[in-house]
Structure 1
Amino acid sequence: MIYPASFENEAQKVASQLEFLRKRVSATLGKEPRKISIILQNQTVESNGNVQLAPRRSEFYTTPPQQGDFQDWLNNLAIHELRHVAQFDKLTGYLRAPFFEQLALAIYGVTLPSWFFEGDAVVSETVLSPAGRGRLPSWEMPFRTNLLSGRTYSYQKDYLGSLKDLTPGFYELGYFMTARMQRVYGADIMDSLMTRMARLPIRPYNFSNSLRKFTGYNTRRWHEQTREELTALWRKQLAENNPIDYPLLPPKTTDKPENWLLPRPLSDQRIIALHQGAQHVSAIMVMDSLGRQKEVIKTGRQTEPNFSYAAGKVVWDEVRRHARYGKRSYNVINLYDLESRSYHQLTRKSRYFSPALRPDAHRVVAVEIDESNAISLVVIAVPNGEVVARYPSPGNILLQTPAFDPTGTKVIATGVAQQGTAIVELDIPTGNYRFMLDWQSQQIERPTYADDEIAFKAHYNGIDNIYALNTATGAIRQCTNARFGAFNPLVDVVSNQLWFNSYQVNGYRISKVSWNETRDLATQKTSASHISYFKPLLRQDYAYRTTDTPETVILPSKPYKGLKNLINFHSLSIDNGSFDNLDAINPGVYWLSDDLLNTAQLRLGYTYDGDIRSSEYLASIAYQRFFPKFSLEYRNRGQVGTARVIGNGQEQLIGLHWRENVTTLKIDIPLVFYRINHVFTTGVSAATSYTQRYGLTEPRFQNQFIERVRFPMHYQFYFNHQVRQSALDLAPRWGQHFSVTYRHFPFENRLKGAHLSLRSAFFFPGLWRNHSLLARFSYQQRNGMYQITNDIPLVSGYDQLRPVPVDNTLLFSYRFPIAYPDWSIGPLAYIKRFKGGLFADFQNVDSETPFQPRTFGVELRSDMNLLRFYLPNFDIGVKLVYANEANPRQRFFATYSIGYSY
């Protein structure tokens, strides 16, 4: 286990948990996980985890979330990720370093659908802990809402998702499908399935074939069986709860998913809320009683949706990343004044979460989580951002979503520990904490003061609803009885209204009810009869289930030697390890080395070019620990060329072959900056090389043959700015990209030449929502050795046109969505979106040339998943090109393209 020294105490706890859980997690797979390196990432503010091969390691992102289940974050993480380790070892554990880890990873990814291995891990985290996502009604709510609303989607749509509808996602779908397997056929079915798959990993449709053998159902039919069972269970529960349908704001919404979160009434009868939507980026909005909306300010990326309003001011938190190191991030607080319409970033390089304004807006309270996972409430002054006071959490329990009382002297918050959740109050004058509600097996969220009560969200009746805690008696009463779920309560004492979010089939809407009326609601169930859908779907009597907390055994630790562990060969590969771009794939045989901290990559490779019948040998190393990135590469390769010979009055072309040694050094400094909904990327790079040529096949040209090319220089500078995209945007609504590249031979006498290129791109909003207009202008100036080199984007179909030297290009494209069909073409493809475009490409634009496109036309593209794989997402399309010039090779022709993303 590798971790910063400041994280020693937490690392010891994690080590004890892992050792305690190791055999329990793997019991139903019959395969105890072997050793794996675990990196504790404590410098990022995001909460996550992963297990990977090539190289074999696991990463725990240790900062706990502000919204999760009711247990210690690292305990949940340890169970979930350790189950993935057991899955890897069960299916492909015999394929190991130093040669076969990438092959093992490929077999794992091709054989197991994502819903299976993630759903199985969620089952484990639920079985092996008193909490887990399988016990959260909020987690399965989108799936439940769809089924109860009559939206029974296909297997591929529920699994692979949709751009126009809310679907459960593969974690949720996988939990219910794998849980049902274990309930119906016993927990040992996981062992049986994966054992059969491991014996013949190349079997076509291995998982579905094996599932049919043991259950009689393929994946599509098993999805239908699970869906039918869940529908019956949830309909029964809905009838028992006898829910109330509350009024909804806005009264009309788009047909695409959108959320109106954390509603807060203003003094002028308007409502302020955080708006999220498939068609829009996140923004704080105000809405009047008729549903008319006005944007206040767009927001940036958040770890959890959050904002707070008081006295004409708004605060919210956002993620900021270190300019150079992506896994070092911060959570800052932003402030916006509605009266002056001014924005101000209140804190910098901070780790503050869920900020809340005091009623007079002169102070902000927030949760602070430092890099050692020490938890505190901090009080921050407005507007200078200074910390006025810091109150360490009692027992270092996790605190979530604090809120001031009307006097500004007390703060209420959710407390989370392995015992469950509680409601904790801080008395600011004394600095003392007290528990207002003791530990509960509940997902308690966003407690807020309501006269002599505290309103909060919980799920005592099996559905997320708003409850109230009487601070004098400790009694809990139910305040809402929502059909699908109620969240984010706020009691407005002026109007005596309870405002909250009511979940609907297309997202979260705003509802309200008289606070007095909530007292007349008959509570459906008490905490003693807590409902968890884990119970009806999976039996509780597994021998390996435990809720015990392991004692921390102090294990020896020592400094990690980065240089000693720099070389870590793990895989033979057909590529150099980068599959980001289809054009960059260069098939061959490569031996890959990556150190565990992702700072050094070493590649040894061999390829054969059949076009020129020549071998190529490669060795490269990249080192990323320092502020600049360094890469050094050596290639020994064959080359071909032609020589023009004139004899007897005739011209003859003679083919030439030679080999060359090329050593290349590159230094790169990439930087990224965030500012609310704006993203800036910039960077500089410099590269040089040394080439030594030998083995010319025609000795008579030896005098003209250049045997050495000494240190040609290549420089690049780029600057990009764009606003965040919504889920349905085809491109940023606004953006500017600039790049300057220069190449020359400053150290050569025989070789001369220079190449200067400037590239730019400008994004504009289209005529309708999610449309995009892109204008690109590029210019190049070249001479000498670079006379025929093109380093700028060319017009569409350039290789089908008459060759003409290119000095500049001006390219226009307008793209727009056409339809969101969610079509399944059997198991071959699942099409999420069709999109179209128009383009006009100009070349060598100047004052003397008629301003007319050299090519123009239309394009049709589609976003899809292939062969039921969740990733990658493919973008496949065709361009119909019209050549607008005299005597072209072809007047009309088509070009095709395929791209993919993860």
Structure 2
Amino acid sequence: MQPHYITHYKLTISILLVFISCINPHITTAQVFNNDQYPASVKWRQINTENFQLIFPSEAEPQAQYLASKLDALSAQVSHTLNKRPRKISIILQNQTVESNGNVQLAPRRSEFFTTPPQQGDFQNWLYNLAIHELRHVVQFDKLTGYLRAPFFEQLALAIYGTNLPAWFFEGDAVVTETLLSPAGRGRLPSWEMPFRTNLLSGETYSYEKDYLGSLKSVTPGFYELGYFMTARMQREYGIGMVDSLMTRMAKLPIRPYNFSNSLKKSTGYNTRQWHRETREELTRLWEAQLVTNQPADYPTLPADGPGKPQSWLLPRMLPDGRIITLHQSAYQVPAIVLIDSAGHQRTVVKTGRQTTPHFSYAAGKVTWDELRRHGRYGKRTYSVINVYDMQTRSYRQLTRRSRYFAPALRPDGKQLAAVEVDGGNTVSIVLLDTERGTPVARFPSPDNILLQTPSFDETGTKVIATGIEQQGATLIELDVNTGSYRRLLEWQSQQLERPVYAQGQILFKAHYNGIDNIYALNLRDSTISQLTRARFGAFNPSYDSSTSTLWFNNYQIDGYRISHLAWSGKSGTPIENINDSHISYFKPLLTQSPAYRTADTPATPIRASEPYKGLKNLINFHSLSVDNGNFENLDNISPGIYWLSDDLLNTTQLRLGYQYDGNIRSSTYQASIAYQRFFPKFSLEYRNRGQVGTARISNGQQQQLVGLRWRENTATLAAEIPLVFYRLNQIITTGFNTATSYTQRYGLSEPEWQNRFIDRLRFPMHYQVYFNHYARRSALDLAPRWGQYLSATYRHFPFDGRIAGEHFSIRTAWYFPGLWRNHSLLARFNYQHGAGTYLYANDIPLVSGYDQLRPVPVDNTLLLSYRFPLAYPDWAIGPLAYIKRFRSGFFADFQNIKAGNAFSPRTFGVELRADMNLLRYYLPNFDIGVKLVYANEAGAAKRIFATYGIGYSY
């Protein structure tokens, strides 16, 4: 039930990862930064002002002009309390995706606004609120590290920012700012604070680490919510200049250990853990008093399971046969639409894929819902498609493709559905679609382009009710399908109005007039509003069963959303005139402390001239010197040295100039590379000049001798890649093709007398790879996909060099199966390789555990079996060093060179113990650290039992 814009922040971990790679070579892969591309067909334009460069697709010109009229004034407002006017920054308007988000980053310096508004958020213009929040991050960056700039120091600035400021602080400060400088903001939403409030009122007072870093077994507030309350309290207690004072002190000595906590204690007398405790105790007192004022009622809940790991049953609706249909979300399982019978038994109807907002609709034996899809090649373009499931025939169909339809609602007869359409220019309409063919039947543009959310039909199928959002607030809007006319049923409300539905000639909806989210009814005859529920923590998602006169709704509990109901005939309820608003406006004392906070809107400016943005002219954008090459996809690729990095603003081109010194062979390497990723294939070209060492076995008559050789070589490598990704329900498919070739020229041989036997040219060896990966979406607690298959085939040879013979073929496979119990996983990997000539002893497949400590044997194939399972979810904090969320274990047995005549026995087997944790109280990355105890099952092994260690990370 939270807003869908979560600011992505990048934490540069170069020094930490280089340190880790030095102490341990057993590293797994991880993806750090999103490097997806926009489709090559996008026509980019730009608007330049004194303080901003707006880069946008041509169809997003209206949004660009809107922002151009607001940004200068908003920038002055958001920077006022930090006493720092930010430098000019490029803002990219991303209208190719259907997700609602935003980010600010350095290396390169830019911000990205995802322009599509959400189907569930606060009650104001999406772009206005997004601009305030993201501009505050821009000011934070410049306040702390603004003196470190391109072309050399942006990555250093990002590292200092990420290591000095906890995520809860910079996000909490941005939420405070968005709340104070707008008529809405998340600080005004009871639904947003609800998980934190529920925990404290239920007696769950978690540690600072658990509230901040999260948990796999409990619902925690998250760093946005926690940060809002902690930073707002700082400013209420010590004045609006408190954030400025903290960041000014940190900026003066950014290398101070525990800089933030140290500065906080210097200013307040409390460190971060103590400040968390003080904030938590204050909130508990305030929310306990609010609870007494509201006098909540208790309602029956189902399913009746007691508190457990987080799970929710959303959008409940009673079917004619008495069963409840609902959207189940759980830490144990992937989301699914399920049926619950009177005995509480649950049956899965269909498992769903990713959604921008949890949603489904039922009518006449059909179920429909929207689901996220992405362009196969260009990850920056996504779609929202409509799915339909027929419960009688148990058949599924994807009704639309490459569409931007949201929150579909079935007509009572099931023959048509209504959905909200938001196109690339943010033009909003309600579209009627035929449920058999998926073709549009009618389109009704929204009046004044008001954002419409979660439509629903009345009993006759002739009217549609939806939430309307504008800068003035929220309202309820009704569409007459027969005439195509809209009418507004309410004046603009400073309320988060959600999920309106028809019932007994009235409109049921969620609002928070009494300070807590509850279900209300709008009487269409006299336009009066009455409160129907008095939930303890929050009531949501109403539906009405006329046959039993029962109102069904979601009733929030400590571990998620349960289902409750009450009898309602259309007459009972408390008029809102008799209701006191008990919402605790944590931010209000700050409104009077600064002139900037008393200005809620910005003046309009004339239309600004726009011009084409020429990507080719902006490919080179050097921004940072770095100790690594910027490739975090594999820790094995981190090569300490000095690199100069260039990345263009649209993720099209990467340039790297680098120098390394290898102390092991006392030799330098010089490197230059470019990757161009605009077109369907990705292309990369790399040049290296490096020193090499080797040993040659020289035959001289009847004698042989080993000769140590040194030389240098120039190598140019050209590669092309076509990566593809597809979604379907809860299934994900990745596939692709890679090819590469190179040219190597060797010189400077240390033993010139062997020059005539030395191969000084390697002419265009070819490398090909094709891969296919299919797996089921994982739940939060799954250690691996329950079902999955991976196949990769690689071939290398020398087709253009007659002096060198050699080829190598390899196949790698992986097969995932569900384990014996929930969240367990069985993985079987079979791998095969065959080499000849130059590649005779090359290894290109996964090897048995502990291979480097075993007797060297040529490897033809391997079979690697592992069974993994969770052990415990301790949520342990080991001081400031580590916070452990989960222990897990497993067994493995690794076979090598399986063939007829060989005994089928593992070469190594053993057990492993691993832990998922956060280090040094950083929210990201999430680390996976563990040990394997390996038994060498062969005679003559140097060690029968030994340990290997591994560390991985993920974002």
TM-score w.r.t. the length of structure 2 is 0.93
Map 1:49-68; keep pairs closer than 5 Å.
Answer: 49-68=102-121
The match for 2:637 is 584
- For 2:616, what is the secondary structure of its paired residue? coil
The match for 2:248 is 195
Maintained 8 Å contact 2:356/2:371: yes
Maintained 8 Å contact 1:445/1:458: yes
Which of the numbers 220, 231, 234 marks the counterpart of 2:287? 234
Alignment pair present for 1:544 and 2:596: yes
Instruction: Deviation per CA, 1:58-77: give whole Å up to 9, x if none.
Output: 00000000000000000010
Alignment pair present for 1:841 and 2:894: yes
Which of the numbers 156, 165, 188 marks the counterpart of 1:135? 188
Worse overlay, 249-258 or 710-719: 249-258
- For 1:167, what is the secondary structure of its paired residue? coil
Map 1:604-619; keep pairs closer than 5 Å.
Answer: 604-619=657-672
Alignment pair present for 1:335 and 2:413: no
Q: State the one-letter code of the partner of 1:811.
A: L
Maintained 8 Å contact 1:615/1:638: yes
The match for 2:547 is 494
In structure 1, C-alpha distance between the alignment counterparts of 2:904 and 2:500, rounded to whole Å: 64
Alignment pair present for 1:877 and 2:930: yes
The match for 2:203 is 150
CA drift at 1:541: 4.4
Which of the numbers 649, 663, 673 marks the counterpart of 2:726? 673
Instruction: Deviation per CA, 1:38-90: give whole Å up to 9, x if none.
Output: 00000100000000000000000000000000000000100000000000000
Map 1:690-701; keep pairs closer than 5 Å.
Answer: 690-701=743-754
CA drift at 1:556: 1.6
Alignment pair present for 1:533 and 2:601: no
Runs of 4 or more consecutive aligned structure 1 residues displaced over 6 Å after TM superposition: 647-650
The match for 1:748 is 801
The match for 1:727 is 780
Instruction: Call closer, same or farther: CA 1:680–1:466 in 2, change over 3 Å.
Output: same
The match for 1:247 is 300
In structure 1, C-alpha distance between the alignment counterparts of 2:924 and 2:831, rounded to whole Å: 34
Q: State the one-letter code of the partner of 1:153.
A: Y
Instruction: Deviation per CA, 1:353-387: give whole Å up to 9, x if none.
Output: 00000000000000000000000000000110000
Instruction: Call closer, same or farther: CA 1:532–1:19 in 2, change over 3 Å.
Output: farther
In structure 2, C-alpha distance between the alignment counterparts of 1:526 and 1:118, rounded to whole Å: 37
In structure 1, C-alpha distance between the alignment counterparts of 2:825 and 2:78, rounded to whole Å: 49
In structure 1, C-alpha distance between the alignment counterparts of 2:299 and 2:450, rounded to whole Å: 36
CA drift at 1:539: 4.5
The match for 1:69 is 122
In structure 2, C-alpha distance between the alignment counterparts of 1:527 and 1:543, rounded to whole Å: 32
In structure 2, C-alpha distance between the alignment counterparts of 1:733 and 1:898, rounded to whole Å: 23
Q: State the one-letter code of the partner of 2:250.
A: M
Instruction: Deviation per CA, 1:113-132: give whole Å up to 9, x if none.
Output: 00000000000100000100
Maintained 8 Å contact 1:136/1:532: no
In structure 1, C-alpha distance between the alignment counterparts of 2:683 and 2:721, rounded to whole Å: 7
- For 2:784, what is the secondary structure of its paired residue? coil
CA drift at 1:713: 0.1
Instruction: Deviation per CA, 1:657-711: give whole Å up to 9, x if none.
Output: 0000000000000000001000000000110000000000001110111111000
Which of the numbers 810, 813, 838 marks the counterpart of 2:866? 813
Worse overlay, 547-556 or 699-708: 547-556
In structure 2, C-alpha distance between the alignment counterparts of 1:769 and 1:128, rounded to whole Å: 47
- For 1:608, what is the secondary structure of its paired residue? strand
Maintained 8 Å contact 1:356/1:364: yes
Q: State the one-letter code of the partner of 2:242.
A: I
Q: State the one-letter code of the partner of 1:449.
A: Y
Maintained 8 Å contact 1:179/1:537: no
The match for 1:119 is 172
Maintained 8 Å contact 2:673/2:686: yes
In structure 2, C-alpha distance between the alignment counterparts of 1:334 and 1:649, rounded to whole Å: 76
CA drift at 1:255: 1.4
Instruction: Call closer, same or farther: CA 1:302–1:810 in 2, change over 3 Å.
Output: same
Q: State the one-letter code of the partner of 2:206.
A: Y
The match for 1:505 is 558
Q: State the one-letter code of the partner of 1:665.
A: L
Map 1:92-111; keep pairs closer than 5 Å.
Answer: 92-111=145-164
Alignment pair present for 1:474 and 2:492: no
- For 1:702, what is the secondary structure of its paired residue? helix
The match for 2:428 is 375
In structure 1, C-alpha distance between the alignment counterparts of 2:612 and 2:588, rounded to whole Å: 48
In structure 2, C-alpha distance between the alignment counterparts of 1:657 and 1:636, rounded to whole Å: 14
The match for 1:639 is 692
In structure 1, C-alpha distance between the alignment counterparts of 2:302 and 2:808, rounded to whole Å: 59
Which of the numbers 828, 839, 864 marks the counterpart of 2:881? 828
| Structure 2 gaps, min length 5 | 1-53
Q: State the one-letter code of the partner of 1:45.
A: V
In structure 2, C-alpha distance between the alignment counterparts of 1:537 and 1:650, rounded to whole Å: 91
In structure 2, C-alpha distance between the alignment counterparts of 1:360 and 1:82, rounded to whole Å: 48
The match for 2:314 is 261
Maintained 8 Å contact 1:883/1:891: yes
The match for 1:593 is 646
Q: State the one-letter code of the partner of 1:460.
A: Y
In structure 1, C-alpha distance between the alignment counterparts of 2:900 and 2:390, rounded to whole Å: 49
Maintained 8 Å contact 1:309/1:315: yes
Which of the numbers 14, 17, 26 marks the counterpart of 2:67? 14
Q: State the one-letter code of the partner of 2:238.
A: Y
Instruction: Call closer, same or farther: CA 1:264–1:537 in 2, change over 3 Å.
Output: farther
The match for 1:766 is 819
Maintained 8 Å contact 1:97/1:571: yes
Worse overlay, 23-32 or 549-558: 549-558
The match for 1:404 is 457
Q: State the one-letter code of the partner of 1:127.
A: L
Alignment pair present for 1:449 and 2:502: yes
Identity %: 70
In structure 2, C-alpha distance between the alignment counterparts of 1:169 and 1:488, rounded to whole Å: 23
Alignment pair present for 1:212 and 2:236: no
- For 1:164, what is the secondary structure of its paired residue? coil
Q: Which has the higher contact order (CA 8 A, sep 6+)?
A: 2
| Structure 1 gaps, min length 5 | none
In structure 2, C-alpha distance between the alignment counterparts of 1:75 and 1:238, rounded to whole Å: 33
Alignment pair present for 1:283 and 2:336: yes
- For 2:671, what is the secondary structure of its paired residue? strand
- For 1:769, what is the secondary structure of its paired residue? coil
Maintained 8 Å contact 1:446/1:457: yes
Maintained 8 Å contact 1:250/1:290: no
CA drift at 1:653: 2.3
Instruction: Call closer, same or farther: CA 1:357–1:540 in 2, change over 3 Å.
Output: farther
Maintained 8 Å contact 1:12/1:552: no
Instruction: Call closer, same or farther: CA 1:163–1:205 in 2, change over 3 Å.
Output: same
Instruction: Deviation per CA, 1:182-237: give whole Å up to 9, x if none.
Output: 00000101110000000000000000000001111000000000000000000000
Instruction: Deviation per CA, 1:843-866: give whole Å up to 9, x if none.
Output: 000111010000000000000000
In structure 2, C-alpha distance between the alignment counterparts of 1:532 and 1:374, rounded to whole Å: 36
CA drift at 1:531: 2.8
Instruction: Deviation per CA, 1:413-463: give whole Å up to 9, x if none.
Output: 000000000000000111000001121000000010012210000000000
Which of the numbers 404, 407, 411 marks the counterpart of 1:351? 404
Q: State the one-letter code of the partner of 2:152.
A: F
The match for 1:891 is 944
Instruction: Call closer, same or farther: CA 1:245–1:564 in 2, change over 3 Å.
Output: same
In structure 1, C-alpha distance between the alignment counterparts of 2:831 and 2:937, rounded to whole Å: 20
Instruction: Deviation per CA, 1:399-423: give whole Å up to 9, x if none.
Output: 0000000000000000000000000
In structure 2, C-alpha distance between the alignment counterparts of 1:253 and 1:847, rounded to whole Å: 55
TM-score w.r.t. the length of structure 1 is 0.99
The match for 2:327 is 274
Q: State the one-letter code of the partner of 1:146.
A: N
Instruction: Deviation per CA, 1:623-670: give whole Å up to 9, x if none.
Output: 110000000000000000112346797654221100000000000000
